[in-house]
Each structure stands twice: as structure tokens, then as C-alpha cells.
Amino acid sequence: MHSDGLTVFIVDDDPSVRDSIALMLGLLGFRTAVFADAEGLLSAYQAGWTGCVVADLRLPGKSGLELQAELGARGSTLPFVIITAHGDVPSARAAFQAQAIDFLEKPFDDEQLRAAILTAFSLEGHRIQRADDSRDDSERLAKLTVREHEVMEQAAVGLHAKEIAAILGISPRTVEVHKTRLMAKLGVRNVAELVRFTLTRK
């Protein structure tokens, strides 16, 4: 699974390591971008980046974990794979506490890195899908009239047409018309789906 648009951002101060990882991943079909240090990636970083970061633990300037923290502070959710020639338990623990996908000690084999990246890409794919779904939901909600919003909120808490009509000061027949229209706009087939839709928006 090499998702379209996803990039592996490689950060390592050793040119031979950086280039060998990029070559290996390129041969496997991954898109890559390489940086010699955390500051290089941070200066180039754009909010729309998707994929994952493969970063050395020890870098000149900010470490791999500090890079992860800085990106997180900027709102990035890019998954991280930490690589190191100096693995120890505290470093590994710190990486996993920071939600790193994996902590690989050099020399690692190609399959270990590939597996970690595929895990990261899977997480990214799910995150992107949720973001797309949320955006689609927002666009559908924007199509509702004020009255349809009111009917939706009442119907979603289980009120029937007569009860909604009494609250809103309209006829039950009008409530049913609004409910039919709003359900069509939202793409839901019944009240159960309407309830689920509104709960996911909370």
C-alpha cells in the first residue's frame, strides 16, 4: 500500500545513511524527501504535508524527538519512525511515549523500516479519510435551512413529529416535510442514521 500523495520525510545528518534509505525506499515505490537536520525540515514544513517522518534520534541541533515535539506544536500529526545508532531504554521509552510508530536501531534491515512506514501510512490514510468525511459532513450540513437544523436537533433526541411541531409552533405535516428534505440532504435513510450522524458531529 503506497498511498498517493504520501511522502517519507527522511532526516539524518549522515549523507550515506540518508541516501541509502532514500534509494531503498525509492526502489520500493515510496516518494521521499531528505533533510540533513531537524531545522531543515522545519524551515521547509508545510501544514498540508502527509506521510511520515523517519528521523535519527541524534541530530545536530534539535533531536529527532524534539523535531517530533516541534511539529506537534505546529499542529502536525505526521507519524514518526525514530532510527538510532545509540539505542537505549530511556530513549526508546521517550519515543513511544511521544507516539512514535517504531524505534529502530541501526543497522536495521529494509523490511523492518518498510513495515514501520506501512504502519505509519495506514494511520495517515485513516486520518485523511476521517478529515475528508468530516469535511463532507460539514458541507452537507451547510445545505440545511435554519428550520431543517431545528427539526434535525429535535428528531435526533428522539422526539416525534407532533412533539417537534409543538416545540417549533408548526404543523406535524410541515415537520415531516422538513425531516424528509433534511434527511435527503444529509444522505441518511432513517432516524437511526440521523442520530448517528448528529452524534459524530458533537
175-200: per-residue pLDDT in tens?
Answer: 999 999 999 999 999 888 898 888 87
Q: Tell me, what DSSP letter sits at residue 108?
A: P
User: Which amino acid, one-letter code, is at 94?
Assistant: A
The CATH number of 7-133 is which of 3.40.30.10, 1.20.120.450, 3.40.50.2300, 3.10.129.10? 3.40.50.2300
Q: Look up the pTM and report it.
A: 0.69
Domains 7-133 and 143-200 share a fold: no
Distance CA 174, CA 5 (A): 47
pLDDT for position 191: 85
Q: Does residue 202 surpass a pLDDT of 70?
A: no
Per CATH, the number for 143-200 is 1.10.10.10
What is the domain partition of the chain in residue ranges?
Answer: 7-133, 143-200
CA angle 65, 66, 71 (to 5 degrees): 100
pLDDT for position 84: 93
Element (H, E) at 129: helix 110-141
pLDDT for position 162: 95
Distance CA 153, CA 76 (A): 33
75-121: per-residue pLDDT in tens?
Answer: 999 999 999 988 788 889 989 988 899 999 998 989 999 999 999 99
- Average model confidence (pLDDT) across the chain: 91
pLDDT for position 174: 95
Name the more confident of 3 and 157: 157
**What percent of the chain stands above pLDDT 90?**
69
Q: Residue 156 corresponds to which cell in the numbers above?
A: 435526533
